[in-house]
Amino acid sequence: MSALLIASISFGSSAVFIRYATQASALSLAFFRLAVAALAMIFLAVSQRNLKSLPTRDLQLVSISGLVLGLHFATFILSVKETTVANATFLVNTTP
């Protein structure tokens, strides 16, 4: 339950922190945000010895999904910097 609360607060406040990161570009913020998550996921997969059991096709799909997620974060971060936090959050949450 506490992990859910921490995750909710983290996701909900990320746009505010992005808004105040004035020196960093949208691409660099997206890169480092996903790099930290990727390192955590790789550490988890290696510790459970699940990384070698994935077929090549699944690794390709995961890589493509990661690129699309990176594009999503880059455009979201750019929208937070160019418009208000409320508008950017509303637009990112109106997807199907």
Structure tokens at 42: 């790789």
Q: How far apart are CA 42 and CA 19, in angstroms?
A: 29
Chain segment 61-92, per-residue pLDDT in tens: 988 998 898 888 888 888 888 888 888 888 88
Q: How far apart are CA 91 and CA 13, in angstroms?
A: 16
Exposed e or buried b for every residue in 19-45, given b needs 16+ CB within 10 A?
Answer: eeeeeeebeebbeebbeeeeeeeeeee
pLDDT of residue 51: 66
Q: Would you give the distance in Å from CA 90 to the centre of its chain?
A: 17
6 versus 92: the higher-pLDDT residue is: 6
State pTM to two decimals: 0.72
Chain segment 19-55, per-residue pLDDT in tens: 887 788 888 888 888 898 889 888 888 888 766 777 8
Structure tokens at 77: 């971060």
pLDDT of residue 61: 93
